[in-house]
Copies of this chain bind each other. A is one copy, B any other.
Amino acid sequence: MGRIKCVAMIPARMGSKRIPKKNIRLLRGKPLINYAIDLANQSQRFDEIWVNSESDLLNELAIGSGVKFHKRPVELSSDDATNKDFTTEFLEKHECEFLIMVNPTSPLLRVETVRCFYDLVVDNDYDTVLSVLDEYAECFYDGRPLNFSCEKKINSQNLSPVQKVVWALTAWRRSTFMKAVRERHCGTFAGKIGLFPIPKDESCDLDTLEDWAIAEGMLIARSLKKEPPRYWSRMTDDRVF
């Protein structure tokens, strides 16, 4: 793993509201959280891999899956507790150079993407690295055109992209994060920020039941046998569609 100690943290609470118990819910036969565990394991980039949760059930699942378990205080698993709060509590207990949060809400991430993210983190001098989706599309903000002019339609691939934070992967340099927290600043966006674009078909963020259905569809699409395309023709048109 080299000289830089890099720890993976997989945050998981049981009390998710919009998708109840989502971390242990089976997605295509596998508990959601195990997608993140498998990613972190298979990337072979982390000195330690921790599930961070208040739940004893997730403790059992984590240990059974071969990773470590950090039990956070129950009060850091309420709806009001923020990412900053439980990350701070975790970092107080674990020394490292970088913490990389692997989010279970992004089950479509590929191992190769985790490795590229890791490389960006350790090969640069960022304090915080956020994963983003580059949106090459006309965007409005506050009711006004943001990255285009109404005077001319141009090809959307030639627009300046808006970069949407997806929270699939996030890296923090421990020292910068903790310093920000001590000084009562925001650790989440502390120091020099780097942005890491992830592929569109990995960017699904599981927040609602609608997202769950989308993720399921995208996983199905990946598993489909690639067949040659078929086309409509007047000869074979039997109007089944």
Contacts and interface: CB of A to CB of B under 8 A. Distances in A.
Interface in A38-63: 57, 60-61
Contacts of A20: 229
B165 A164 contact: no
Q: State which size class the interface on A falls in.
A: 35 or more
A150 B186 contact: yes
A139 to B, nearest CB: 5
Interface of A: 20-21, 24-26, 29-31, 34, 57, 60-61, 64, 82-84, 130, 132, 135, 137-143, 145-147, 150-153, 160, 162-166, 185-186, 188-190, 193, 195, 199-201, 210-211, 213-214, 216-222, 224, 229-234, 237, 239-241
A195 B200 CA distance: 24
A211 B200 contact: yes
A64 B237 contact: yes
This chain: how many copies in the complex?
2
A80 to B, nearest CB: 10
What are the nearest 5 A-B pairs in CB distance? A217-B221, A30-B241, A150-B189, A217-B218, A217-B217
Contacts of A61: 232, 234
B151 A186 contact: yes
Given A60-B234, A241-B34, A229 B164 contact: no
Nearest to A211: B200
Contact of A241 (B31, B135, B166, B193): B31
Nearest to A146: B141
A234 B65 CA distance: 12
Contacts of A29: 240-241
Contact of A25 (B21, B57, B229): B229
Given A57-B234, A153-B186, A193-B150, A210 B201 contact: yes
Contacts of A199: 210
Given A60-B234, A241-B30, A139 B152 contact: no
A229 B29 CA distance: 11
